Every structure is written in C-alpha cells, then in structure tokens.
Structure 1
Amino acid sequence: MATVGENVKAEENLEKKNLESLRMAVNREDPDAKDHDDLTLRRFLRARDLNVDKAAALFLKFLRWRREFVPKGSISESEILNEIAKEKMFGQGFDKKGRPISVVIGARHTCFNRDIDEFKRFLVYVIDKICSRLSGGQEKFVVIGDLQGWGYANCDIRAYLAALEIMQEYYPERLGKVYLVHAPYIFWTAWKMISPFIDNNTKKKIVFVENKRLKETLLEDIDEAQLPEPYGGKLPLVPIHQS
C-alpha cells in the first residue's frame, strides 16, 4: 500500500507531466499561449482535475475571450465610470496566508441602474487589480461579501451569473475564500437560484459568517491590523480604484 507521501509525489509527477503536455497543446493551437507562464497554465489544469484536453479547451477559450473583451490589455477607469461611482468594491490588506483581501458591499449594486457590459468590464478591472497585488508565489485572493441592507432591488441574478462565469471560466483557481457577512433572510431566495451554477470547488470556499461570531471568525484567518474597520479591524475601507 502506498504511503501518503508516495501518493503526493505521484500526484506531483502527474501534474508536472500533464503540464508539459498542456503547454505543447496550447502553444500549437494559439501563439498567444507563449505569453503565459506555467503557473497560469497550472491553474487551468487544476481547475479541470489535471485533464489535459479539458484544461486546453478552457485555456484556449480564455485566450480568445481576453483578446475580444480586453483588446488593449487592461480595462481603463474611463470605461467603467458608473460602476466606480457606486463605490461598492474595496481593496484591503492581506490575510495570514498573504492573500489580498477585497470587500464588496452588496447593497450598493442594483439591477435597475447598471449596464451589464459595463458591469462585466468592472469585474475584470477589479479582478485584474486584485491579482496585481499577488506576490511571493501566492495565486489566490479572498473576498468579504457584505450583504447588510441587501434587498430585492439588489437581487440581480443576471449580473451574479455573469460574475460566476468570469471567475470560473477565465480566472480559475484564483479565489481562495469568500466570507459572506450580514446575510439577511431574503438573500437565501437569490442563493437558491444561483448556487446550482457554482462549481463544487468554489462552493467549498464560501463561508456564511454568523453575525455574533463575525470578528472572531474573520480573525481566524486575518490579523486585526489587516482586517477592515467595519469588521472590528484597523484598516479603513479604500475604494478599489484608489487601492
């Protein structure tokens, strides 16, 4: 019987072998693949459970999407002025694993005054901004989703599904953890509608935090000096475009 260490080694060897196969496959199909390092390819490989064919299809889809959706290489603030004005996304400190923290205020997003294409551009701008803060080999970030005051006006299923698609299809293995705080009872109606579209790996990273254990729970993973002020920490909220 193989030991735990032997199983881990075998898994690492399989990943290395499949990564080499993935590299050859995507380089053959799309010259832009050469602009992305092995760490990026590895995330796509892991997102498809080390299946080379599925990972290659996902990565090539990402390359096509990136060329079409972000033709200039990045989203400028001039393209998302309405979304920025709502100040619903914030860039914060880092958790104990060195993962960047962002905060989203759910009640500041409403379905009646948003343009879905601008919303998608804003999401890409935000994710790219957060990823630019990754360092030291860290590949993931964490999110505090604050749902205080969330109501029917904030229930935008189309936008939520768009966000899920962008995260799961184009930024696989970037999300480390999501803390959903101050979730009102009414939110569960929306959750039942969108949860079937969330893959199992992502679901495992979502934590609904009890109000009475809010600070205690967040402090398990985030030092008080790095925790945003609204949750009992020391850092003031900084809008994402200013972070």
Structure 2
Amino acid sequence: MEHSKFVEEVKSQLESEHKDLPVGRNGRDDNDLILWFLRDRKFLVQATVSKLAKALEWRRDFGVDKITDVSIRRMAATGKAYLHTSPDVEGRPVVIVVAAKHFPVEEELVESEQLCIYLIEKALSQLPPGGDKMLGIFYLRGFKSRNGDLKFMKFLIDVFFNYYPKRMGQVLFVDAPYIFQPGWNMVRPWLKSYANLVRFCSVAEVREQYFTPATVPVDFM
C-alpha cells in the first residue's frame, strides 16, 4: 500500500510535467516500471521522476519498441550476441556475447546497439515470476585488440546505469586473455559500484556453477 502511494505520486508528476511521453507498457503510467525506478532511486519521488523521464525519452528517441527480429537479423546472424535458450540455475535469462566475433565498424555501431537493446528487452520479457535480473556472459576466448570497442562499452554502461538500472544481476568474463586486461583497467572506473557485479571465471566454472548438463550453452560445452 505504501509503495502504491509513491507510484501514484510519480505517475501524477509525470502526467503533469511530461505529457508528451508515451503511455502503456513501458510508458509513464506503467506501475511496474515506475516501481522499479522508485526502488533504484530509494523511493525519492523527484529523483525517480527525473531518471524515469530521461529513460522514457531515450526509449522513444532510440525507437526501442520499433526494433524487431527483422531489423536486427543481419547483426544477429554474426553470432556475436544472443539470448540463450535456457535460464541459468537461478532462473535468470542469459545474454551471451562472443567477443571474438565482434569487429567494430563505425557504420555498424547503431546496428550493434539495436541488437543489444533487442536482447535486453527479450531477456526481461522472459523473467520468471518474482525474477527481476538477468545474467550477462562475455565469452573472451580468442579476444584480440581488434575486437575491443570502447564506444560500444560506453553505450552499454550508459544503458544499464540509466535505462535498465539494476537489471543486470551478474556479469561473467570468461577465459579472458592477458590482452583484455588493459581495456578492463580503462573501463572499470566507469562502472563504479557496478564493477562488483563482474566475475572473471573459466568455461568449466560457467558450465558447472551456472547451468545444468541439459542447459549448458553450446559455446561452453
């Protein structure tokens, strides 16, 4: 009951100050979305209104709801990122990034960003009852300097800080080669407290600790 009071305050303020923002699912009157951002902002109404308004503006301007299977088909075909068909042992949807298949090309940055958002949205749509977080796995075997992409990493960090706050339950860096370390040293300060979500581990640890024999992703068999 107490939470509903805060939700209604945020909803009322958004209606008053941001009439141009969309309504409906993932809109300014979506109770679940408002409650999630309230929790992120520790139930401070004004802070929630400010952050949620920016997130909704971004969703509209980025065209999140217009991204489809067809629009991301070419980038998805590279196999560099995908939603695993099974959750992990905690029931979390799993997005896997195969870093060695990512080759940064300036004109393809928007397509990579769209694939990223498509996978996040799809993962969140598969959350189990009571679930609220996903698992991200970066498979780094074979990673070379040519696969590094600071622009995309900045986009990804911005996305999870501002538009999908606290939706990432954990991030696994799997079989990271030595050449990955300088890039990580550069990116880590950007993550602030989110860096605590990162775990470096091996393929065997992923296979044995995060999945059952029947649900292990093909890349880790």
Deviation for aligned residue 1:117: 1.7
Q: State yes or no: 1:46 paired with 2:39.
A: yes
CA deviation vs aligned residue, 1:119-169 (integer Å, no higher than 9, x gap): 222211121122222231322111211001111101110111111112221
Specify the code of the residue in structure 1 equivalent to 2:212.
D
d(CA) in 2 for partners of 1:144, 1:218: 12
Deviation for aligned residue 1:187: 0.7
Deviation for aligned residue 1:48: 2.5
Specify the code of the residue in structure 2 equivalent to 1:76.
T
Deviation for aligned residue 1:194: 1.4
Residue identity over aligned pairs, in percent, reads: 27
Name whichever of 19-28 and 101-110 sits farther off: 19-28
Aligned to 1:236: none
Aligned to 1:206: 198
Aligned to 2:76: 84
Contact 1:142–1:176, Cα closer than 8 Å, also in 2: yes
Structure 2: any 5+ residue segments left out of the alignment?
A: none
Deviation for aligned residue 1:76: 2.5
- CA-based RMSD: 2.4
Instruction: Give every structure 1 segment of 4 or more consecutive aligned residues whose post-TM-superposition deviation is greater than 4 Å.
Output: 31-34
d(CA) in 2 for partners of 1:223, 1:24: 46
Contact 1:27–1:34, Cα closer than 8 Å, also in 2: no
Aligned to 1:184: 177
d(CA) in 2 for partners of 1:218, 1:176: 18
d(CA) in 1 for partners of 2:195, 2:44: 21
CA deviation vs aligned residue, 1:70-102 (integer Å, no higher than 9, x gap): 17x230244334422311112221123221112
d(CA) in 1 for partners of 2:69, 2:210: 32
d(CA) in 2 for partners of 1:193, 1:89: 23
Aligned to 2:215: 226
Contact 1:103–1:143, Cα closer than 8 Å, also in 2: yes
Contact 1:46–1:173, Cα closer than 8 Å, also in 2: no
Deviation for aligned residue 1:218: 4.9
Deviation for aligned residue 1:192: 1.5
Contact 1:44–1:173, Cα closer than 8 Å, also in 2: no
d(CA) in 2 for partners of 1:203, 1:18: 30
Q: State yes or no: 1:142 paired with 2:131.
A: no
User: Is the partner of 2:97 in helix, strand or coil?
Assistant: strand
> Greater CA radius of gyration, 1 or 2?
1
User: Is the partner of 2:66 in helix, strand or coil?
Assistant: coil
Cα distance, 1:216–1:123 mapped onto 2, change above 3 Å? closer
Tell me how many residue pairs correspond in the alignment. Answer: 215
Name whichever of 119-128 and 100-109 sits farther off: 119-128
Higher RCO structure, 1 or 2 (CA under 8 Å, sep 6+): 1
d(CA) in 1 for partners of 2:219, 2:180: 21
User: Is the partner of 1:180 in helix, strand or coil?
Assistant: strand
Specify the code of the residue in structure 2 equivalent to 1:149.
G
Q: TM-score, normalised by structure 2?
A: 0.85
Aligned to 1:27: 15
Specify the code of the residue in structure 2 equivalent to 1:79.
S
User: Is the partner of 2:130 in helix, strand or coil?
Assistant: coil
